[in-house]
Amino acid sequence: MESQPIIVDELDRRILLALIAQPLVPFSQLADRLGASTATIAARYKRLHRQGLVRITGRTLPGFGGRHAYLVRAGSRPDHVAHLASSVAAYDNSRWVRISKDGTELMCGLVTDSPAHDPILTLLPSEALRSLDVHELLHVWGVGSSLSTHPPGSIDHLDEALIAHLAADGRASLRDLARSLQVNASTVSRRRQHLIDSGVLYFEADVHPEALGGTGDAMVWMSLPPGRIRAAGQRLRADSRVRFTAATSGSSDLVAHVHVMDNQTLLAFVDETLADLEVASTTVIPMGRVLKRNAV
């Protein structure tokens, strides 16, 4: 559980927003754009990383390698939701765990090899819940990427090890990666680029929601007519206000994590942007406590 006060200034926020848009942007380019020195940007990033406010991760699609990925919503009394969220966060295969702003809903992401026997999916159902929705992720849109759930040809042990290292630190240098993997830097560079070009690997900035400021932090669940889902997902992921978007099974067709400065801006996003995408219906869940964020 994260309880330390979050203190960031305007330059910190601008760095975080730039990293969300371009997780691997060189600090020198960021310095030119933000009007600060490269040393200042590097020092700010190191501090934000040390405080747990930002982490750059290399990602594969949740279904990559035969795994199944789910988003789960469980509604109950606030005391039961808080207890359930703590229990779910303790499992290794829960990737993130949050509670809605009003305390009545748990929302979590999980990855499993065996849905029928997964401990979280078997733990959740109970008479104490007023609602339980389990949505499998059918497709996840990455930043500027066309992602694949299947390996390009063959993925060997070196590729797997490289993916694991980049999951821990997406901005790790070629030299550090080469030393850890006991190969030369040119091999690391070539393998990493091949994984990116093949749509297997992408990068994202995991930023603590409270570090961005504002109050318009929400999960938005959407229903669309057939023929509109892929186009809507692509357009949403290109929107700077959207942190994550995926097509799902179940009662909704798309889900997006939206972060804006206030509720009026959130309403404008729903009433204008989603109307342009021909979204038929929406459910907006303002988000509150963070118990776990994007575990590797």
| pLDDT 10s digits, 145-185 | 444 444 455 688 999 999 999 989 999 999 999 999 999 99
Place of tokens 């509109």: 228
Q: What is the pLDDT of residue 295?
A: 61
Q: What is the pLDDT of residue 144?
A: 47
Question: Domains in the chain, start-ordered, CATH in brackets?
Answer: 10-52 (1.10.10), 64-143+207-289 (3.30.70.3460), 153-197 (1.10.10.10)
Element (H, E) at 237: helix 229-237
Place of tokens 């939206």: 258
Q: What is the pLDDT of residue 240?
A: 86
In order, the DSSP letters of 114-173 are -GGG-HHHHHS--TT-SEEEEEEEEEE--TT----SS-SS---HHHHHHHHHHHH-TT--
**Is the Cβ–Cβ distance between 1 and 291 less than 8 Å?**
yes
- How far, CA to CA in Å, does 28 sit from each of 34, 139, 193? 10, 34, 21
| pLDDT 10s digits, 53-95 | 999 999 887 667 778 899 999 999 999 999 999 999 999 999 8
Rounded-to-integer distance, Cα 88 and Cα 214, Å: 27
Q: Which of 294, 293, 271, 284 is nearest to 73 (CA)?
A: 284
Low-confidence ranges of the chain (pLDDT < 50): 1-2, 144-151
Q: What is the pLDDT of residue 2?
A: 47
